[in-house]
A = this chain, B = another copy of it.
Amino acid sequence: MYVGTPRAGPVRFSLIQYGEGGFREEELKTLDECLSRLATPPSDVITWLDVGGLHDVRTVEELGKRFSLHPLLLEDVVNTEQRPKREEYADVLYIVVKMLSADPDRQRFEVEQVSLVLMPRVLISFQENGGDVFKPVRDRLRSGKGKLKNQQADYLVYSLIDAVVDQYFAVLELTGERIALIEDRLLEGPSLETLHDLHATKRDLLFLRRAVWPLREVLSALERGHSDLIAEATRVYFRDVYDHVVQVIDTVETLRETGAQMLDVYLSSTTYRMTGVMKVLTIITTIFMPLSLVTGLYGMNFRYMPGLNSTWGFASVLAVMLTIGIVMIAIFRKKRWL
């Protein structure tokens, strides 16, 4: 439901090569074009190939052949139901992350799987649709500013994951706002619609949690430097993204607890209100039933009833009824129902 609709159009290849010799960017149309470019990369540049679209299986297969990737790795690239994970093959580091994009209009977020395949001096990233989450990274490379340009491919991996995690904060902000809105509505007075909104939000949080929790482990492993492909100096950056992910998890858990508390608040205040309604009903019934009985008594058609023909009969009965009513109200006051 939240998974983005797969792009049916052609696969997009975006090839960036940078290094001391400069920066070159190309948008390639076909796989073959792409493979020919990759045939003989200059030895002193970092190559980043961003593949947008996984619906053409041949693309993945051919690239896998070109870089001698393990068949299981290729399977994982194509299977978009993966959990975030990190796997190492000889000379290849494979990372799966979930990209979330907040969509403020529909109050929803979309999920896309991103696979990063890191080899010495080469990084291939696979996106399902190829949104523009990586645009800031590309821009920084183009502008040549910042340290990104002078770094190895492992720093590029960091930059991409960082861009993905930045999106999480946007999604969380959106979810936080939804919850705050729901809370306001619950305090004003609950409606079925609000309850269902709360339910939907809790579900989204469940979903979010599933996407973020495993990422923590992935980044922790990268930070601890299990892989030769991650340079010592880059590990501090992974620690930074790791911190961000921990912060995201923290917020998700807090929002989940807040959601649970709101249901508690709803239930307890509803129970409170229902007791109030019940009291009103009981008070009304308890006051009026005896009074009605009295009128019923003198509504009977017996010929001989005391006071029937007396001038003060009606008034006396009214007085009796008034007394009954006052006594009842006094009892309720004593019971603190009024």
> Which residues in A have some Cβ–Cβ distance to B below 8 Å?
70, 72, 75-76, 81-83, 85, 87, 89, 187, 189-192, 195-196, 199, 202-203, 206-207, 210, 236-237, 239-240, 243, 246-247, 250, 254, 257-258, 261, 263-275, 277-282, 284-286, 288-293, 295-311, 313-314, 317-318, 336-337
Contacts and interface: CB of A to CB of B under 8 A. Distances in A.
A217 B40 CA distance: 44
A196 B304 contact: no
Contact of A279 (B187, B277, B284, B295): B277
A92 to B, nearest CB: 12
Contact of A195 (B272, B309, B311): B272
* Most B-side CB within 10 Å, residue of A85, A189, A280, A308: A280
25 contacts: A70-B236, A72-B240, A89-B236, A191-B272, A195-B265, A206-B261, A207-B254, A267-B268, A271-B271, A277-B279, A278-B278, A284-B285, A284-B289, A289-B292, A291-B293, A296-B296, A298-B300, A300-B301, A300-B314, A301-B301, A301-B308, A302-B314, A302-B317, A303-B308, A305-B314
Given A265-B196, A299-B301, A300-B295, A281 B278 contact: yes
Given A192-B272, A280-B282, A243 B301 contact: no
A271 B272 contact: no
A75 B162 CA distance: 14
A277 B270 contact: no
Given A278-B281, A302-B298, A268 B266 contact: yes
A192 B290 CA distance: 30
Contact of A83 (B250, B267, B290, B306): B250
- Across chains A and B, which 9 residue pairs bring their CB atoms closest together, nearest first? A295-B296, A298-B300, A288-B289, A281-B282, A299-B299, A302-B314, A302-B313, A305-B314, A284-B286
Contacts of A291: 293, 296
A268 B263 contact: yes
Contacts of A313: 302-304
Contacts of A278: 274, 277-278, 281-282
Given A239-B87, A261-B203, A265-B195, A285 B289 contact: yes
